[in-house]
Structure 1
Amino acid sequence: MTANQVQGPAIHVQGLEKSYKTLKVLRGVDFEVARGSIFALLGANGAGKTTVVKILSTLLKADAGTASVNGFDVGTQAADVRQSISLTGQFAAVDEILSGRENLVLVAQLRHLEDPGTIADDLLDRFSLTDAAARKVSTYSGGMRRRLDIAMSLIGTPQVIFLDEPTTGLDPQARIEVWQIVKELAEHGTTVLLTTQYLDEAEQLADRIAILHEGRIIVNGSLTELKQLLPPAKVEYVEKQPTLEDVFLAIVGDAGHDHGVGTDR
C-alpha cells in the first residue's frame, strides 16, 4: 500500500451519477469517509443508498464521476478494491443448510486462509455464537443470522466494510446487538460505511452523517453540526422520562441477551 493510500480518506466520492433509463438515481454525489470512522448514509427508500454501495463495491458502474476505496479507483482497480472491502447486504447471505461454524470455515477456505477452523472459532466467540456453532443456521433467529453474516464478512480482515441497512427487520434486542458490533469494528480500526433509513441508528453510531435525497447529498456533517442547522429549542424544565430502549432493556436485561445468543429461534 502506498503512502497516499494510508494517509488519504478511506472512501472518496466525487460527482457520482447513475441512471436507469430515464430514472436519475444519483445526480452528482460527493463525500469522503475518514479511516477508522463510521459514516452513515441516511435516506428514505429509493434515495439511492444501495446504488452508492453497489458502485463503491464494484458491483455496478457509475455513469459519471469518480470514486476510490482505500486509495483504489473503483472503475480501473476493481480487483484491488474487492481485496480491501467486505459487503453485508440487506439480507443475511448465509447458507441455512450448514451450521454457523461451517459457514465461517467455508468462507475462510474460499479466501485461501490458513487454519480456517481457528478463524471460525475466534469469530464465533467474538460474536457470541459459540453455543450455537454446531446448529444449522436455519434454526437461528434474525439477530443471530445477522451477527453471523457480519462475522463472515470480516474474514480476511477487510479495511473497509459496507453495511447496507444491517438492522432492517430485526427486533429491538437484535438491533442493539448489531449496533454494538458496528461500534467495535470502528474501535478496531475498520472503516464502516453504513446505510440506513433509521434516524436513531445514524444518531447512535455515526461519526459523520450524510443525508441523501433525490440523488444528491443535501447535508453532511457530525451530529453536533447537523443539530446546529436548526435554532435551539426553548428550554423548559421537564421531568426526564425513560426511553422505550430503557424500558426494554430493564425488562429483558441480560436474560434476553442470553436467550438471543443461545436458544432463540
Structure 2
Amino acid sequence: MRAIFPESPHFFCIQHFKQNMKQVAREKTFQNLLDSLARSYNPTDAEHLFDIIKVENMRLYDWLIGVNDENRRFEHWITAYAPCPRLDINTSNLAECFNNWIKKLRDKPITTLLDGIRAKIITLHDKNRNAAANIETNFCPRMLKTMARISNERNYLEILAIDGNTYELVDRATSRTYVVRFDDLSCTCGRWYHTNIPCIHVCFVCRYNNYNIEGLYDTRFSTANLRSVYEARMEPIPVPYQIQAPLVRGEIGEYQRCDVKPGDQRRTV
C-alpha cells in the first residue's frame, strides 16, 4: 500500500488492534480504555487516558507507546494525532462488509465473479438512487439525527464572546475551557475537525446567537452530494464474450489443470 499510495495516510483498524493488545491485557476495562483512547479528538484527552493506563497497567502502557512497531505509531490509530479528518471511522468494516457481500461469488471464475459484482453494484445503486431522490431535506436524514443527538447532549457551558468569530466556553462540570473560531471553522475540543460535524460547543454558540447551524454542515453530507454519488451509471454488456479473458499462448510442457465451472458446482482439480 505504501509503495502504491505513498502520499495517502494509513490507519490501523481498532478492532484488530484490540485483538493484538490481548497478548498484554485481556480485561474488558482496558478494552474500553483503548476504545476511548483511539476515539479521542485532542492530544490532551489522549494524554490523560495514557496516564490512567500507565497507573493501571505499566506493561500495557509500554506496549502502546512502542516505537519499533510501525502499526503502533499514534497517527495510525489515535484520532487526535491523525494527519487528516477520519470522520469517526476507526475500523476496516467497509472492506469486511464488502467481502461478506460478495461471499457467494468469491469461488466463481474470474469473469463470473466480476459480472456478479457488477450486477450487485447496479442493483445497489438503483436502490440508493431512488432513496436519495425521495429525500426532501437539504441534508441526509442520518446526518440530521446525528446533529440532533449532539445538540441535545447535556452541557453546563458558560460563553464569553471574544468577537464576532471567536467564542470562549467554560464547562462548569469539568472546568475545561474551549475556544470556537468561525473564521477557520475550528474548536479546540478537536471534534469538529476530525468528524467534519459541528461539536456541542459550536451548537451552543449557534443557539446563543440564533445562527442557522446547517450552514456549518460539510457539503459531503448534503442530499445533493448523495444524489451525485449515484448519478453515474455502469454501462450494460450486450454480449457475454466482451468480458471473456483474452486467449494467451501457453508454454510447452505439462501443467496442472484446474476446471472451474460457473454456477454452483464445486471446483475440481
TM-score interval (norm. to shorter): under 0.3
* Higher share of residues assigned strand: 1
TM-score, normalization: structure 1? Answer: 0.22
Structure number with larger C-alpha Rg: 2
Larger relative contact order (C-alpha < 8 A, sep ≥ 6)?
1
TM-score, normalization: structure 2? Answer: 0.22
